Structure 1
């Protein structure tokens, strides 16, 4: 259902970031690591500094690194390096 929501019209970047982070968390709960990674990459485009400082986002990155397929884990590692988690 979240894919049908256009968050680009939200009145602030913070609300858009929070919405997209919650979408990533929902994918995490369903163990959809590829979707978590895609959501995190979108968040990087939106606000890389917030991505690096948000505990939930950091946790999601580390989870994809640990349990994701090899290709997803490598992409998550690169993302973590770019935003300064590693």
Structure 2
């Protein structure tokens, strides 16, 4: 993994509170996540980065000017894998 992309961490989707900027490995990824109420969201990116308490499921990430909602996080011993949904409205 190459941590070669700057990632901004925001505390909410409304971008009211900038938390910090980190580096990570961003990869294209295609997967559909279905929710119990019938909604389906397309995962378009996957991020690998160091574990950081600032990254939460309630926050959002901005990568190269595009806002992403965190849909799923897999925490490993020394890194985290994050599945992202690109928000349609910028």
Shorter-chain TM-score range: under 0.3
Considering Cα pairs closer than 8 Å and 6+ residues apart, tell me whether 1 or 2 has the greater RCO: 2
Give the helix-richer structure, 1 or 2: 1
TM-score normalised by L of structure 2? 0.25
